[in-house]
A and B are shown apart, each in its own frame.
Chain A
């Protein structure tokens, strides 16, 4: 290692990388001083509100805003659907936007939308997709795939086959900071947007066409974002509406952040997936055949396809699968942390767990035996190591028992296991690094910190490279006027920003050494920056403090840039170095107790063993996994976008009935990051998605282990647990 100038420092030389370092914006956020988009209150602020359709499917005959316009305090009104033209605009989900108003007070804006009169022509709608037999006319074939001869494999008298039904309903993102913007026009051609976004450098262009302005005249600002999880890549109809409201108000700022119900209705849904599965193994547990018929909805526009059988896919010796899209009037789907993977994982790992039970095999043993079905040999090795680590941390060999829990009493305990994979390759991006004569160091890039710790990762990389403490580096992100960085999705950010800022910091350091070497009577290549000093290697006498060294710059700052390209040729890799990669593994074990009288599932413990290459900040990396486990408990036990068959509306667009886990609901969390030799060499890999993939499967498997029967679909609510027990549990 370390034969390419940008390479990560060797383990023995790392002062910061891989340590537990507190996030650099932690005090700002925890003290309430951080300003999110929702907190922007520029002078002359107008408040925007949106009128939404109560119908799941309807034509709009007319919209009359005249009464709203007359209300004192109302400044501008925008109709958001092309009313008055043929064909009549059609609403495809309850909650779709009709019109927006801006007023001097928030309460007046709320009154004004009630005064807008809309004539609808209601049409038939379809909102419940779980029963495919009822979905005639709403389906579209999505994927048909086959490898080998699964039918023949299932016929083999020496195999054991398990059949089952598994499913995950639509859930929402439920970002705590709702989607939206605070928008104003500094002049008639330029737009300033405080956005709650995952793509500071990426979304400006979305405003350009609808508003007939240049993309580079749109300034996007987002210093803090209150959750995204994949749902905040678009400026959305309400972003455009806010800009139009502001324009017709003479450019005054308009704040238009969604209401909580709107957030749950329209601002993000994870597609559902249901599947009928057959899976077969030899009596020794060797998996041989898979067959599934699956379906799901992501609203009207179809949805992604869960990559089943997951994660083995075409490594399965024989498999066939068919997936069907179901169109529903429920609001559009958006990427939700590890798109399609938690669904695929529940379906596959649930089916394999049921097969293990039929084989009378320990599921950890079965997964260990089949680890070579992993997409590549490295991952197979990781799975074996992670299965071992997780099993140890969960006391698996002591606590696991064959189904069901046969001990006395009405509360039954069970353990379940699952494994997962995700890419996490870097996004492309750029940065600018400055070293100033006063000793200050700044790095700028048009990135964003969703709460994953992006700012902190950037500070660590630059500080490590320049031999500085973390707090000596000023990290400036969250503005589209800085060098563009990729959007934060798909676990691409940590790889992207660490690649660009490592190169930028090395370039800055080398230019700095070249500038000050004469003053030290040395060659630039003989200098090193360590412990807040610059010194000549091997000559303790020739040492300057960082500040003294910077003062040698005179009046000229060092300005350097760095980039992470989308890909590098083999030739480019020799000079640009390989700083990151993709393809991680992870294993999780859930330990639950099920009250067989009430059907309530309680989490005792969740264990995660997770790899992600070279970890920059162990503290925020562990937090990602802790958070993913908790988010996993939420969707495993509580979350569902419940649609009403009668009205076509969502029944729980609020936080009383759209349930999230509270602090007392998650049990003990044990996280083990796989680091060191064998892992670090892979460079930096993203971590946001992978650990949220397995919890649903692991928890569902644990419940099956406790009560002896599968609760087919998430969330594992008491009614479903009791129904499963009645159908043959604890036998």
Chain B
């Protein structure tokens, strides 16, 4: 999906070949050079000279759903693992862990992003929005209502990622066609097979107005 900018952090199928820590060490000197001249989707805060972080834990500040969080973690920790393991924010799921399935989708500065493929340290200084921002337990974003009404979930493990991807998609394309929905949500995978419901949910949510939390419907849907 074009909007997503996750890149695979491991090349091949052998996860033992190169650890996240080794990768970071190898990449540290190069990335400093790249950052200077390259336009990057996520650019680190401007630093006068290359800063080598780690391998030990470093302080990390993440702004999530409008709140600053200060935590310590190794620089190799992904944004997804920082959310889940360090901050107990577990709506984003770890499924493929390498930028394929979209279950870990969050928004960074409003753009849908695979949080498994962004380091937490890279996400500093950016506005991170997670699925948790779309409800407070009694009020829910229209996309969530539409997912429920159209039964766009079964086991539900891919669903928070799908909801985030839908929210971001609708923010950019408030009145999509079905073809646009199929293209726009192609970055998320479901195993139970809920795409039929997702298509209807997105189209319904598109008719339900702008992003934001709203009250749940009073009674269960009883269309017969």
Contacts and interface: CB of A to CB of B under 8 A. Distances in A.
Secondary structure dominating the interface of A: loop
Interface string B88-119: 10111111111011010000000000000000
Contacts of B132: 31-33
Q: Which of B134, B191, B219, B221 has the most CB of A within 10 A?
A: B191
A663 B88 contact: no
Given A32-B91, A111-B21, A626-B196, A654 B98 contact: yes
B131 A32 contact: yes
A175 B191 CA distance: 7
A330 B180 CA distance: 40
A458 interface: no
B185 A663 contact: yes
A663 B156 contact: no
B157 A177 contact: yes
A19 B221 CA distance: 9
Interface stretch (A350-358, A494-502, A627-635, A715-723): A627-635
A41 B151 contact: no
Contact of A22 (B74, B149, B190): B149
Contacts of B34: none
A329 interface: no
Q: Which of B149, B220, B223, B224 has the most CB of A within 10 A?
A: B220
A70 to B, nearest CB: 17
A645 to B, nearest CB: 16
Nearest to B94: A38
Given A107-B76, A174-B191, A664-B182, A21 B96 contact: no
B220 A628 contact: no
A38 B160 CA distance: 14
Interface in B185-199: 185-186, 188-199
A110 B20 CA distance: 10
Contacts of B160: 30-32
A397 B177 CA distance: 30
Contacts of A662: 186, 188-189, 195
Interface in B1-57: 8, 13, 15-16, 19-21
Interface residues of A, number: 74
Contact of B155 (A177, A660, A661): A177
B211 interface: no
Contacts of B188: 662-663
Contacts of B185: 663
A102 B52 CA distance: 29
Contacts of A634: 193
Contacts of B70: none
Q: Which of A38, A469, A662, A664 has the most CB of B within 10 A?
A: A662
A26 B147 contact: yes
Contact of A631 (B100, B156, B193): B193
A328 to B, nearest CB: 20
Nearest to B163: A30
B16 A41 contact: no
B63 interface: no
A120 B219 CA distance: 62
B144 A30 contact: yes
B91 A655 contact: no
A47 B77 CA distance: 14
Contact of B16 (A21, A114, A175): A114
Contact of A107 (B74, B101, B103, B137): B74
Interface in A655-672: 655-657, 660-664, 666, 669
Interface in A594-632: 618-620, 622-624, 626-631
B124 interface: no
B147 A30 contact: yes
A630 B195 contact: yes
Contacts of B135: 27, 31-33
A105 interface: yes
A259 interface: yes
B98 A27 contact: no
Given A39-B90, A664-B182, A30 B198 contact: no
Contact of A34 (B19, B148, B156, B189): B156
Given A33-B91, A226-B157, A666-B195, A27 B140 contact: yes
Interface in A57-103: none
A651 interface: yes
A439 interface: no
Interface string A647-691: 000011111110011111010010000000000000000000000
Given A176-B93, A655-B100, A261 B15 contact: yes
B85 interface: yes
Interface string B179-219: 00111011011111111111100000000000000001001
Interface of B: 8, 13, 15-16, 19-21, 74, 76-77, 81, 84-85, 88, 90-98, 100-101, 103, 130-132, 134-135, 137, 140-141, 144-145, 147-149, 151-160, 163, 181-183, 185-186, 188-199, 216, 219-224
- 4 A-B pairs closest in CB distance: A32-B91, A630-B193, A226-B157, A451-B155
15 contacts: A21-B220, A26-B147, A27-B135, A31-B144, A38-B90, A41-B90, A107-B74, A225-B155, A450-B154, A451-B153, A623-B151, A627-B193, A634-B193, A663-B186, A663-B188
Given A32-B90, A32-B135, A451-B155, 11 more contacts: A30-B153, A33-B135, A110-B20, A111-B21, A114-B16, A228-B155, A471-B220, A627-B194, A634-B193, A662-B195, A666-B195
